[in-house]
Structure 1
Amino acid sequence: MDAAAVERFYARHMHLLDGGAATAWARTFTADASFASPSMTEPVRGRDGIEAGARAAVAGRAAAGEVHRHWVTMTTVRPAADGAEAVSYVEILATPRGGAPRIELSCVMRDRLVRRDGELLVAERVVTRDDRPHG
């Protein structure tokens, strides 16, 4: 799996999330994907749970009157038996209506990517935040 394909995948993936397309964004995960983040008490398992979380995040941003942009950078890609392992830095830029943008979070995103029917999908995601201890 080449790095350029992974970069194109993340560009589309984050445009969907930031654009509020929760269903389409969730479809960029495998049906049995897992998603773990420090903001969750337990990893979310399955596309339906991932979609529900995305819908809640979209609604929260709308209620707060903010636009969020996920900037995926410094991605490294390593081949794996069933696809690739990708590690990226992610900054979330939050811009309130009429206000100045600010960096909301700085994170590391570790994904296991697989190819299904010619498409890249996230099978497993683990996010760690730079402002919290890693365990």
Structure 2
Amino acid sequence: MPRMVGRVKRIRIPDELQSLSLAPRHLSLLAYLLFDGPMSVNELAARLEVAPTTVSLMVGELDRKGVLERREDPADRRRKIVSIAGAHRGSIDGWLGRGALAWRKALAPLTPGERKLFIDTLAAYENALPEDREQPGN
């Protein structure tokens, strides 16, 4: 696991995105929008497990940089839908999409039951990790 995480961290940000000062906190947000499509700030906040105000600040920052776009939800004009800006979609897909391709390739030979076991095991590992504020053994 540490070797895999280390390798993922070394994936270079594409040259066209370098000047945008993307931080690790942006990666999960961008990945959700890339793989799951446009969604509201509240939906992003639920998936990222952070407050909507935190996501709203990140979205505002990335919107000002031209990475994201916000548009009115036709069903509820008070709600904004967030998506990756067309100008950056290809770069972000090329950058983060490699991970999705690697997962698809790794999981392809597994049966549905084996995939479920693998995903459940990863979730159990994540749930067993202490929160940042906790000390090991507490």
TM-score tier by shorter-chain length is under 0.3
Give me the TM-score of the superposition, normalised by structure 2. Answer: 0.26
Structure index of larger Rg: 2
Higher helix proportion: 2
